[in-house]
Structures are given as structure tokens and as C-alpha cells.
A and B are shown apart, each in its own frame.
Chain A
Amino acid sequence: MSVELGHYLAVSGIVFGIGVAVALSKRNAIAVLMGVELMLNAVNLTLLSFSRFSTAFGPDDEPLTGHVFVVFVLTVAAAEAAVALAMAVLVYRRRETVDLDRINLLRW
């Protein structure tokens, strides 16, 4: 049995699902960020496997587009993580917690 597009999509779908579950269920801000990173990496895997396998590409298409996209995703994810961690530190300094259930000045 050879490994094909479907296998890669299945793996990335599962990883994405785990990421969503982590991001939605964890109450710790840092853990939510870890979930987001999983989601983004699943996206990268999807992009790369489509880029490698997809039948939609004709002879004139640039299959490299997917690879380029991944580089952009990685860069943006790094920027986002940097800001997110800075904000988590700011909140921690003020409130001594990054538990989202206890960060609750703003509600209703």
C-alpha cells in the first residue's frame, strides 16, 4: 500500500481536530496557544500534501505556491505567538494567573 494524498489529509484532519479540541477546552491561555499551533501545523501539512499530490495542477501551474504559503504561515504564526506570550506575561504580572476562567473582569 502506498501513502497517498488521502492519508496525509486524514492525518492533518486529525491533528487539526486535536488542535481545535485543545484550544476550546483548555482554560490555561498558554495551553490554548499550543492548540492553535497544532491547528496551524495541520494547515501546513494540508498545504504541503495538496502541493505535492493534488491532481488539480496542470502543467502550467506552480506547485511551489503551496510551499511558499507554508513559509508565510510559519512566519505569521511566529509573530502571533510572540505577541500572545507578551500579552500572557502582562496578564500574569497583573493578575498572577493565566487561567481564562479567572480572567473575568469583563462579562455580560
Chain B
Amino acid sequence: MKKTGIWRGLAAVMTFVLSVSVIVGSTLESFSSTIDTALGTQSEMMVTDDQDAVYDKFTPPAELLNADGTGNSNALIQAAIDLNREQAAEGTVLLKNNGVLPLAEGSAVSLFGIRSQVPILGSSFGVKACGGFINLDEALSKNQTDFANHITTSLSQNWATGEVERGYTTDGWSGDEFAFDGAGFTVNPVMTSIYTKLNETYLHTENAGPSEEYDPGEPSVAEIAAVNADYKDSFATYGDAAIVVIGRPSAESEDYLPGGIVDGLGAEEPLALTDNERDAIALAKECSDQVIVLVNSASAVEIGELKDDADIDAILWIGAPGCYGMLGVADILSGKVSPSGGLADIFATYNMSAPAMQNMGNYSYANADSVITRENSGNYIIEAEGIYVGYRYYETRYYDALLGQGNATGTAGTYASNGAWDYDAEVAYGFGYGLSYTTFDMAYEGEPVISVSKDGDVTTATATFNVKVTNTGDVAGKKSVQIYGQAPYTAGGVEKSAIQLLNYGKTGLLQPGESEVVSVEVDLQYIATYDNTYDNGDGTYGTYILDPGTYYFAFGNGAHDALNNICALQQIDGASIIGDADASYAFATEITEDLIGKTAFSVSKTGVKVSNQLDYADWNYFQDGEVTYLSRADWEGTYPKSYTDMTLTSQELIDYLNGNYYTIATDEDTSDIVWGEDGDLMFYEMAGLDYDDEKWEELLSEMTLEEAQYLATFGGPSIPGAESIGTVETYMTENAGNGVAVNLNASKDTEAPWNISSDDPNGNWHPEVFGSSPLTAASFNPDLCKELGEFIGIESLFTGIPILWGPGLNTHRHAYNGRNGEYYSEDPILSGYTAMEFAIGALEYGLIAAPKHYAFNDQETNRSGVAPFMTEQRAREVELRAYQIAFEATKYDTEETDAGMKGLMVSFSKIGPVECTVSTGLMTEILKNEWGFRGYAVTDIYDDFDLYGAVLTSGATCYDTRGMSGFYTDTTLDSPRFANQTDGSVISANVFAGDANAQAAVRESAHNVLYAIASSNLMNRYNATTHVVKLNTWWRSTYYAAIGCSAALTALFAVLYVLSKRKEKEAA
């Protein structure tokens, strides 16, 4: 080949390299914030020249700082270990105990089940447990962590080979190890080594997830024997107790499905025990006559057969305990801590018996192909169970069965009953239930006090229950005081649960003989019923009603026990009551119209008249009579059928599904909306101001429409700056509910005096370490929940993240939701108060908790746009109540302060046929007007990018645009990365130029976002001298170098080619 050809070819190669380098560089810049997070680099730094009045608003506790004010990573990790241990110990629920627990000091125990070696600590996707962890055998037998050799794992697919591989959640650990006081047992090394060996092929991980065709992957006895045929020889030495761990994971994006289990495992459902799991239990029985089962799952596993098995001596539910939570489990097993948790979900004998299970999974409209034009709008679920979610179904049906009403003893919905529906057969363990190692006497300390006050049209009514708890046993322990209520029900009237949790409290650690009076204040608005047919007399329908009549309240060991106590007070036939009943634990009171008016709660705490806002949530609103919702008037006749192949005939319904919500106006007069006024007020001056402070109007008027629109368009993780008010683009938001997902040495706040340096030996500690949300809820301990929020608030200071996309706050509609591990409970009161405490705790350190997913994310299947249909009563009393409690946070309101959560993330799902993101009823009328929410309300990632106008005018404040950054440079309002708009509009800085409503909405969104940020620890960094400094990174240098070198070489080869060509010509 002639030189001319070589130079020409090389010039072509370098042209290609140059072009690719430019493209790669441009792409990297567009996603620089995400690249930085992934690689631990930093592209820009927020710098404040004047160091006066910075880092003085929120600071970590002194005990987590060194003497020079820098962060003490060792102390922080130790505090996390201690708190996770406490979380697990208080959340663990003792379900059964034949006296075997606590185990004797120095016991020699054997562990069975592969999850005893590879426990489920977090989720494969979503809320992971990251970094070094303490395994069960370590917690039982060791006194020192071994993080260097025990790092949690997760599965991922190698896209090059297609192979699923197990990978560590952090790149090794060379930091500190920590001493702990373990249980002091010895653990059978033969069994642990067998399971360790077996997991080389099983590929279990500590962060795992469900699947549509699930296989728990429990090795068979033959496989165990194949590893070590003599394994049973070890039983004699380690036979003081046999502990079996049964695991079922939960994770984002995947559900369990009805019947979704691999064939041949000996189980019909994914949460039922398989043959190999039963065999592992049988081995445990061979090993010891003291058999303990640990249920390592955030979901309700079907353990009815274990409850009834006399050879199973104890059962503990331990949830997904997090990285260090096994210490708490060991505390329970060894008796260092007496169990005090209560189940956050009912454990049915068969999960399929829940009415919600008749309609979960993958449902598509029969005629979707012919009438649906919008993406992710072809799936639905009919939530025909109405308000009867979780224990509300089982307990209400039980109550009606006792009273012989509503055909409750029919056969519809029977799965475990022999003939007529039988509570005892259908339910293994009830909601709120949990045992202890000690005993308590509980009694009302005086009459419960009902207090009613009015402020204008707003009624506040509370009932305060003072319950004296006395430890009558031999060991110290805590006791939750769960207050339940029952409102008067008229057959055929508005649906009401026969029992519902209203609030709860918990004692401190009571020594034997010690007493404590726990005061639990119940907000009576939560026993009111939402009647969506109520005629308000002003042309609107639907509001909260409090029917006059006899109201019953009771405490008890869970909902069932409390209901039994009410039954006793009502003198219902004791022979038919299942379980204990004590009338003295219940309390009845007449609520007359004079005391609290029937419609007293029809005006919200903000003074807004409550009426239907979600009519379109109900399928029957569009196509009347096609759906029958479960009613206690006739359990037999209304038990849900599966609504498959629903056909869309209503044009209004079809239009909603196709995204026809809002058309951006182009010719409205917008002159009343002030933008771009000259002014000196700067954002840093807004720290801690009330939402209604008049300075906000001044500040907002200084902004340009384009700046406000940027804020609304790009809601995180990087949030754009606005030059007019002195803010700069900042990385502000991250996941997740169990810790901030940023390494300790990769803080986004590089100027903070307490920063952990990059060379700190513990620098790659990742703060996502805590246990699953149900474990927190199961503690029934408001103080612990607040403490968790505080700690994650502290983490946010160390990682520079002022807004947390968490915790999860949806309802466990059923046990099969893959995301149950991220959400607290099936009960909105328990969820709401838990989240409220967490959020208030986090705020103390300037962290804005933004719970997700508001609302109705009732399954992960088809989560991107699935349409859940339900009654508005169900929506408000079950799904929304948890959010309402957290946002209203009346417990923390003072004369001066309206406390509450200041953030949320909107659900991918719809409500009825309407996207939650565009539902003005949900986002504005209920959230902002009724509950008084003020703050940051972001969509889920890239959700509804095709509905720009509708989303930004609904009340949602901004889009989650994870990955995008470089605002005003690479990422602009003309970004083509937003999908084409359903309404035909084109996103630009001028798109709202002629739309007064949209401009007002964008302005209000800017107000809300800035208000939330002004309440956060971001304000630590701001003053008049704050600005951004661009930094170089190795990846930026690399592509710069690639561009430079390839450009030079292209030019060089081009010149050589031309010279060679010229020579060629001359030679010719």
C-alpha cells in the first residue's frame, strides 16, 4: 500500500476518533452530575468567599465531630450501628414462643436455611443495604465486625456476557472495624460453611428482589449432604437450639404475582413455604428440640402451618434488618432485649384470601389497541376491595360474623376455612400483634378525655387516653399502647371498618414492677368517614362525616385483640370470640351532634371546605354499574371478582387516558404577573422564613419567567440556579429512606467544616444501612422513628444532600407489592405517624424528607402509568390518610409554627385514568388547600415528560430530571430530551408566554421549591458571596485530551496525505 493510502486511512481513523470524542464529551457534560456521583468526581463547587454566617444554621451533634470540628467517621458509623441495632431490636416481632426464648447464655446453636448465611438486608433495586454488614452468625457468636470480608452483595447483569453476576455494593473496606457485644453463643460452623459453599452456585445476595416467577432458592437436603455428608454429626454439639431463616425479598420494579412461583417447589404461591424450606425446618427439628424460625421478609409470608406446628417453638419476624440489624435480632434471641414490636401487616394464612388480591397484577383494557394512543395508559387495576385493605377486611368480616350480619360467614373469599368463612382459619397473626418476654398490666388512668375546640369553621377534636402500663414480669421491657376505634355503622350505610388504629405510643424501658402512664392523643378526624355521596348543599358532594352515636375505643395487643375488647364491652357472645377479650380495656362514649357536629370535619384544618376531588378515581363514574365494590352489607355478594378485560366505552375516560388534560394558552393577558423586577433581595436572606412572609413576593418578582420555569422543569438531583436571586446550580436531592445514597467522602457540600476527607479510612462508608420501613413501623415507637429521621438528617449534613427522596409512604395494599419493603404498613395511621416523626426528625438537621410515591403506587407491575380505580372514600381513608398525617403533623404545630413534611415525590401511577402528576384535585385541592402542604413536590424520574403544561399547572412543583445538569448551557428549556407533547406544544422558554394560569403556577412552584430549600441545610452554604466554581475532573481531562490529540493527529495525517499526494503527482 502506498503511503498516500496509509495517511488517508489514518486521517479517516482519526476523524472518527475526533468525532466520537466530541460526542462523548458533549454527552458527558450533559450528564455531568450523574457522572460525578457515579465516579466520585466533582465538576463544580459551591464557594462562599465570605465565611461569616455560613455553616451556623444546622450542624452535626458535637459527639460526631473531632476536636477541630471535622467529622468523626468512626463515631458516625458507631452511631449508625447502634441505631440500626435498636431499630431491629424494637421492630422485631415475637409471634410465637413456647418458652424457648430467650435462649440460655452460652447456647450452642445451629443455623438452617440459606438465608441464615445470606440474609435479606435490603432490596436489589431501590432501598439497598450497602457496605460492610454483620451477619447472623457473627452477631450470635462474635464481638468484632469483619467489614473487610463481609460486604453486602447485589446481583447485576453483565451486559457484555449476559451473565447474572454477584457484585459488592462498595469497593472493599479498609476502614475501621467495630467492637460489639454479641449474643455470646457458639454457632455450628459445619452448617454455615455448607450454606456458604452452596451459595457459590445459588448466587443469593443480601440485596434481593421478587420476580413474577419466584424461586426462593432454598437448597435441598441432598444438596446439603453433597457438600458434607456428615453434617448431622455436628447436631449433637450445636443442638441447644436450631434457628431457621426463611427469606422473601422485596424490591423496586418487580412484584410477586398470584401463582407466580416456579413449578415443582411444592408451593402454590411465592410467599408460601416450599418443600425445601419445610425440609430445612425438618432438619432443624432433627438437630434440636428447640426450633426457632426467623421470618426475614418485609412481606407477609404464609406461616400459618408453623403457627400450628407444636414442634416449632418460636417464630420471630425480623423484616429486612439492614446492615447491622442482626445485632438487634441477636439481642432478642439472647434476651438482652425483650421484644416489643407489633406486626405492621396482618399475616393471613393464605395471602390470596385478601380481597385486594383478586385484582392485582397485569391487566390491560380489552380494546386498548384501538382506543389508547398514549404510552403507558393501557393498564389498570380495579381496587374493588374498597376500604377493606389488610386487617380492616379480616377484622370487620370477623366482627360481622360474630354479629351474624352481612353474610359474613358465607364462603366467598374463603381459602383456609372449612366451609363458612372462619377468622381463626384465615388469619395466622393479626395486625399490631406481638409478644414479649415479660408481662404487662394495662389500665386506663382515669376516663379518656375528649376535647373539642372550634376556630372559625375548623373543628379540632381529640380524645386523650392515658394508659398505665406496669411491667408485671421478671425482665425489663417496653410496651406499645395501640389505641383503636370503632365508629357506629348502619347496615347498608357508608362503609366503615369495625376497627381501626387511631394512634399509639410506647413506654420507655420498664423494669420489673415499674409503671408508666402513656398518654396517647387521638385526632378524632381520623375516625370520621368519607361519604362521597354526601350532599354538601352547595352543589358539591362528598365530605367527612361523623355519625352521631356510640363510639368505641380500646387498646390491645393488635387490632384483633382491641376489637375483642370492644366486643366484650358490647357483650357480644364470648363463646364465639376468637382470642381473649377484656371489657375493661375498651371504652365507649356517645358522640352527639351537640358535642361534635356530623359535618364538623367537613372543613379541613386549613379552613377549606372538603368535597369530592377525585370523582374520576371511580370506574363507575364513567361506566356506571360495571364495578361492584366490597361492602360489609353483603360480604358474600360483593366479595371482589377479578376485573379482567375491561372495555373502554366512555369517551371521557378514553380522553383522560390519552393525556388530554390541559392545553397551553397562547394569547392570554399575563401583565398582572410580575417578573424581572429590579431588587436587592437575595435568596440567602430567606433562610427559615414562613411561606407567607411578604418577602417571598418581592423575591419572586425579581425572578424572570425563564428562571422560574427552569426551577419547575429541572427538579433534581441538580437544581438550577437563578442569577436574579443569587442562587447557583446545586446537586440537592438523593434517595433513599434508609440512608442518604452518597458516600461519606463524596459530599456534595465540599466546603462544610465537618466534611470527611477523601483520605479518611472510613471515607467509602455508604450511609444506606438501615432496615426496611416495615421494621421501623413495627416498633410502634414514635421516638425511635424520629431518631431515625434525625440520624438521616445528620447523614445529609455529612453528604451535602438537603432533600431526600424518601421515605416510602404508600399503603401495603397486599403482600405481593414488590415495594412493600420501602413502604411502612397496610395501615395509614401507622404509616403516617411513622413518616411524620421521621420527617420532623430529619428537619431538625435541615433535611427535607420528600416521601414517595404520592399516591396510589399499589403495585410495581405496570407501575409506569397503571390506572388504579377506587372510590374516593378508599382513596382518602386508606391511601391518602398517611400523607395527610405527615403533612399536617399537628403533633408538632405550635402557635408560631405550622410543622409538617415539606416535600414529596409524585407517583408514576394514575388515580383512575388521570396521571397523579396532573391531577389538580390531588396535587392542589387536597394536598395544598386541604392539608396546607407547602414545599417541594417532584415527579418521579422522567415521568409524564409529554404532559409539560398539565404537570406544571396541577400543583406539582417540578420534574425529576435525574442525570440532566448544566442548566443554561448543555441542558436548556429547549431540551429535546422531553418527549413530544401530547397537546402539540413545544417546550421552550416562551411556551408559557401567553398562558396566565401556567405562569402563575410556575411562580407558585418556584415559591414552593425555594421555600423548602430555604428551610433546609442548604442555607448553611449561602450568603451574598456564594458562587459556583467550575472544576476539572479526570474524565473531563480525558475527553479534552482525546479531542486535542485526535484533532492534532487528524490534521497531521491530513497534511501528510496532501504532501504524499503532491509527491505522487509530481512523480507521475
Our verdict on whether A and B bind, yes or no, reads no
